[in-house]
Amino acid sequence: MEQSTAPAIELKGISKAFGPVQANKNISIRVMPGTIHGIIGENGAGKSTLMSILYGFYKADAGEVFIHGKKTEIPDSQAAISAGIGMVFQHFKLVQNFTVLENVILGAEDGPMLNTSLSKARGVLKKLAQEYELNVDPEELIENLSVGHQQRVEILKALYRQADILILDEPTGVLTPAEADHLFRILDNLRAEGKTIILITHKLREIMEITDTVSVMRRGEMTATVKTAETSPEQLAELMVGRKVLLHVAKEAANPGDKVLEVENLRVVDEDKVERLKGVSLNVRAGEILGIAGVAGNGQSELLEVLGGMIPATGTVRVNGQEIDLTGKNSDGQSRRARGIAHVPEDRQHEGLIMEFAAWENVAFGYHHEAKYQSGILMNNAAIKADTAAKMERFDVRPPNPKLKARNFSGGNQQKIVVAREIERNPDILLVGQPTRGVDIGAIEFIHKQIVALRDAGKAVLLVSVELDEIFSLSDRIVVMFDGQIMGERDPATTNEKELGLLMAGITDTSNAQMEAKQNG
Amino acid sequence: MDKMPAWADAVLVPLFSIILAAILSALVILAIGESPVDAFKLMVDGALMRSAGWGYTLYYATNFIFTGLAVSVAFHASLFNIGGEGQAMLGGLGTALVCLFIPWPHWSLAILGSAMAAAAFGALWALIPAYLQAKRGSHIVITTIMFNYIAASLLNYVLVNVLRPTGSMEPSTAVFPEATHLPTFRDMFSTADTILFRGAPANVSFFLALIACVVVWLLLWRSKLGYEIRAFGFSESAARYAGIRPVRITIIAMMISGALAGMMAVNATQGEAERLILNGTEGAGFIGIAVALMGRNHPIGVLLAAILFGFLYQGGAELALWTNIPRELITVIQALVILFTGALDNMVRMPLERLFLSLRKKEA
């Protein structure tokens, strides 16, 4: 039959412009049935736009879509679903206080009475769970499920609607390594059953691990489509960025000095009376990078916020041997900066920058009290602008226009502004949270180099990241946080992702590990 | 860039909003059975064509500049101060106390004293809602509205029971001493041959309002405090990151706002009424909201919008005097302007933006 040889999806000459920005330029792609096809590219390369066209969110300006060899119009997501396309978004679209079952049938109910749909779905879910290792308790509320399980519900939703083409948008961003491994096993099973999968990601490792073919996008264009077996991460990175990229920052062995930052028994209770930090103790020496690994939401953010002066805490923190105020008048960000602590916050859009401020206003942000920015009782805006222009040049911020609003820079350039502001203060301690989240590969390389250079200058760096690659690449020591506690410290030279992954899941001894494996299996 | 130029955003959008409001108002006038063209002529004639008309227009504008600036400053801290009316009433009380009980040798000193007292009273009246917002999370919109009523009741009590001269039947204070009377435009600009601004209440405090515009501009865009206020207004979480204390900024921004609203009393109470009366504010506190919205919370915009509303007020008074159109029509126009510039902002902006983009495409 001709059907079996036709590609599951074929896009021909897809173009899409938003105003003057050409998000997709004449893109053609063929995905054969029963394969996993990766689409890789930097932020803003046009991956999401392309998938949104395929799922009916946007209408392409030009081009055609063929599903199993048949030309198909996809004006909305309903059409995409009936064409057999299912999408698993990066941010799940689940009703938190519904059960798994209710979420699965939502929008696909049969008839006016719920009972019939629910019992039918129960049967289908049971079958799917057995076939694909997709076990979730159908009667559990979404809010009680882990992120990994919620993602499975999203996949189940798509399969329940009889999707045979699955699109996953950055699926591993929120998963622990163990959860990611499980997801890949699921994808493997789906492929074995003949489903077609499109995996959008910016992580080269995942592409290499699971895909059959991979397409690289850059600036709205499809620059290459290759067989995964015939390529290498280095080649893919080069195709993505358009030049050679160092994937792992080259650094000398650390030369640690005195303890610059000492944290003892730090506790934080949030507004809902939930204990977020449960007695955290650690220290960072001059000239070393301490990496904190962990799944997002296990207290790393609170640790940075306490040290950066954003929230109060109990316990003891010493900077250069002197205790600092954790609750009183001198516990704000201003006092922290005065003590030599600089902070690249996790969320640059809501913390590190004022998006509506111009770049020059952001360069003074947090340091607007400094004498060099004042002239009399007013601020010396000319001095700030000159300083900004200089920083933009040194950090290669593009476009180098101090008057442009922060909102109008790309993620990587926004982050460069933040990093330039904090690192150029030459702080004793640099707190860095998710330094390369949403940042393109070229900028990642640059930012990593700056952090290592600061370490080599004898400064202490506390790094929080959910990207294990980043933790391994930068850290001189690694501690793992889980549920507001430190689970242990490891040497990056002797540990591995599996060991850290278990710690990140809160498992310290092997008997528990087996239990967890059983649960997941 | 997928945006229209800044000047178009700042000038064309408000302009089109006014034109739309004017068209709708014209329909209302037609429905009443009057001619919109005649009405417009009458308004322009009464408010702008004679110096006396200008004297009224600028008098009203002075009030609106102060209350408009008050709303703007709070707005930059992302606080919606609807309490300008109450703060202005309290400002009036401050002015009255200073003018009545301090023997001023000259008006130039009296205006300083009364401005400070009006600002202090207005600021303190704003302090309470600000504190409740900053420390207790009580929403500032609700509390400032309630404080308008409390201010009105307080003023009523003070005027009836405390400051009313014995024997007077009117709930007002005694007339302020001669030395506190402010020079009017007539005093300042008339020559021996020609008398300008005859009978109009515009007075020297208009220049105080202009100074306030400059000071507010310097404060917001040139000072550290203004930087912190704007940063806090855009993003509280970012402000906390930068070490800007939310409680402090909330309280300071509201006190500056209250002080500006209070200073309206220098114009209305000391300059015009020359005694403290009930309802001397005449709703100017609320018009400040429209003025700030239309003026894009920028002092220059506030100045222009205040003059526009001054014109509408004076023109409306003329309409009520000579035609069957009730003075309340001005409230309708004002409401329409708020509706278009505030609530329906995008209705005007989006077509304009599209127009600009298509024009640019043609050029390119």
Residue B16: strand, helix, or coil: helix
Please provide the CATH number assigned to the domain covering A259-351+427-520. 3.40.50.300
Give the model's pLDDT for residue A2: 42
B241 touches chain A (CB under 8 A): yes
CB B110 within 8 A of CB B180: yes
Per residue, the 3-state secondary structure of A146-208, as one string, reads CHHHHHHHHHHHHHHCCCCEEEEECCCCCCCHHHHHHHHHHHHHHHHCCCEEEEEECCHHHHH
In this model, does residue B334 exceed pLDDT 50?
yes
Q: Hey, what domains does chain B have and what are their CATH numbers?
A: 57-302 (1.10.3470)
Name the residue in chain B with its Cα closest to that of A370: B224
Token pair 């046009």 in the structure block, residue: A46
**Alpha-helical regions (H) of A245-358:** 300-307, 333-338
What is the predicted pLDDT for the residue at B201?
A: 94
Return phi, psi of residue A341, to 5°: -105, 125
Residue A377 contacts B, CB cutoff 8 Å: yes
pLDDT greater at residue B87 or residue B326:
B87
Q: Which amino acid is at A35?
A: T
Q: At the fourth CATH level, which superfamily is domain A2-241? A: P-loop containing nucleotide triphosphate hydrolases (3.40.50.300)
Q: B230: which residues sit within 8 A by CB, 6+ positions away?
A: A354, A357, B76, B77, B220
Contact A354 B223 (CB under 8 A): no
Closest chain A C-alpha to B124 CA, distance in angstroms? 24
**Of A20, A335, A366, Cβ closest to residue B241:** A366
| Residue B242 forms contact with A (CB below 8 Å) | yes
What residues of chain A lie within 8 A of the CB of B222, using their CB?
378-379, 381
Q: Which residues lie closer than 8 Å to A122 by C-beta, 6 or more apart?
A: A101, A138
- Average pLDDT in chain B: 91
Locus of tokens 């397409």: A215
Nearest CA in chain B to A380: B222
| Contact B230/A at CB under 8 A | yes
Give the ipTM: 0.87
Nearest residue to A197 via CA among A153, A147, A149, A158: A158
What is the β-pairing status of strands A289-293 and A477-482? parallel
Q: Do B238 and A309 touch (CB under 8 A)?
A: no
Query: What are the extents of the domains in chain A?
Result: 2-241, 259-351+427-520
Distance CA B312, CA B290 (A): 13
**Beta strands in A2-97, from DSSP E residues, in sequence order:** 9-18, 21-31, 36-41, 62-67, 70-71, 85-88
Judged by CB atoms closer than 8 Å, whether chains meet at A350 and B238 is answered as yes
Rounded to the nearest angstrom, the minimum Cα separation between A272 and chain B is: 16
CA-wise closest residue to A215 among A14, A439, A469, A28: A28
Asked if the domains A2-241 and A259-351+427-520 are classified in one and the same CATH topology, the answer is yes
Count of pairs with CB atoms under 8 A, one residue in A, one in B = 73
CB A58 within 8 A of CB A16: yes
Please answer yes or no on whether A18 and B241 come within 8 Å at the CB atom: no
- Strongest mean pLDDT among A319-328, B7-16, B250-259: B250-259
Cβ of residue A374 closer than 8 Å to a chain B Cβ: yes
pLDDT of residue A4: 53
Collapsed DSSP state (helix, strand, coil) of residue A89: coil
Chain A residue nearest residue B215, CA to CA: A378
The rounded mean pLDDT for chain A is: 89
pLDDT tens digits, one per residue of B170-215:
999 999 999 999 999 999 998 888 888 888 999 999 999 999 999 9
CB contact under 8 A, A369 and B224: yes
pLDDT digits (tens, 9 = 90+) for B35-46: 899 988 998 998
Structure tokens at B170: 């009117």
Evaluate whether B315 touches B333 at the Cβ level (below 8 Å): no
Q: How confident is the model at residue B363 (pLDDT cuts 50, 70, 90)?
A: low
Q: What is the pLDDT at residue B3?
A: 63
Q: Does A333 touch chain B (CB under 8 A)?
A: yes
Residue of A346, A351, A374 to mutate, interface with B, max B Cβ within 10 Å? A351
Run of H or E residues at A344: strand A341-344
Q: Which residues of chain A have pLDDT under 50?
A: 1-3, 511, 513-515, 518, 521
Q: Is B2 on the interface with A (CB under 8 A)?
A: yes
Nearest to B209 by CA among B312, B60, B56, B51: B60
Tell me the shortest Cα–Cα distance from B238 to chain A, in angstroms. Answer: 4
Interface check for A399 against chain B (CB to CB < 8 A): the answer is no
Backbone angles phi, psi at A197, to 5 degrees: -130, 135
**pLDDT at B364 exceeding the cut of 70:** no
Name A355's Cβ contacts closer than 8 Å, sequence gap at least 6: A349, A405, A406, A407, B234, B235
Cα three-residue angle B40-B45-B47, rounded to 5 degrees? 95
* Interface contact A148, partner B, CB < 8 A: no
Residue A334 contacts B, CB cutoff 8 Å: yes
User: What local confidence, expressed as pLDDT, does residue A283 receive?
Assistant: 95
Strands A70-71 and A259-269: unpaired
